[in-house]
A and B are shown apart, each in its own frame.
Chain A
Amino acid sequence: AQSVTQLGSHVSVSEGALVLLRCNYSSSVPPYLFWYVQYPNQGLQLLLKYTSAATLVKGINGFEAEFKKSETSFHLTKPSAHMSDAAEYFCAVSDDGGFKTIFGAGTRLFVKA
């Protein structure tokens, strides 16, 4: 069965600092992996996805994530945090191409001025 674990329900960084949000997954088949962002009172927006092509995936708003099969990880990074990055971030996994997607519990990112 597939599952996702996001390490840290809250992460706080200073503006301009590196953002690192951790995600580990479990899947019995090569997975599709996703990161979504959710701003208050809004739906989820896809940041980036891994679909078995390049292991380093670049997304919107300067975010990127690296698929590491040996570590079963798909951590999200951004070199320099901006105040507008403050939101909730969800890692997700699918073992059927995205039809049934399993989400992690989320990590809330706080950005301090």
Chain B
Amino acid sequence: DTGVSQDPRHKITKRGQNVTFRCDPISEHNRLYWYRQTLGQGPEFLTYFQNEAQLEKSRLLSDRFSAERPKGSFSTLEIQRTEQGDSAMYLCASSLDPSEQYFGPGTRLTVT
């Protein structure tokens, strides 16, 4: 069990560019969650998947954001036309039991 991994760990991009992040959950976990964390704040829920089905999306997830989990394994989070306000840490978590989420180290996005 290698834990939840996220790639890349850091991403610097220019405003208007598209970025994609990847999350690999713990292998037997069927649930996967995305959060966003800005400086000085707690994580904010973005979306979650049960297997390949995206079951809930936060209103924070604007049309520029899309998440997928093909085949119920890894997940990707894409942000199109990035804005400076998108700069944050993007956290992924996975679980079997929804009350025990295991978090990855996060991807820190900086939009210049």
Contacts and interface: CB of A to CB of B under 8 A. Distances in A.
Chains A and B come from one and the same complex: yes
A43 B103 contact: yes
Interface in A93-113: 94, 96-106
Interface residues of B, number: 24
Given A43-B103, A43-B104, A98-B97, A90 B42 contact: yes
Contacts, number: 60
B39 to A, nearest CB: 11
B41 interface: yes
Contacts of B101: 46, 98, 101
Secondary structure call for the B interface: loop
B4 interface: yes
Nearest to A41: B105
Interface string B86-112: 000001010101111111111000000
Given A46-B100, A105-B40, 4 more contacts: A9-B40, A45-B103, A51-B99, A99-B56
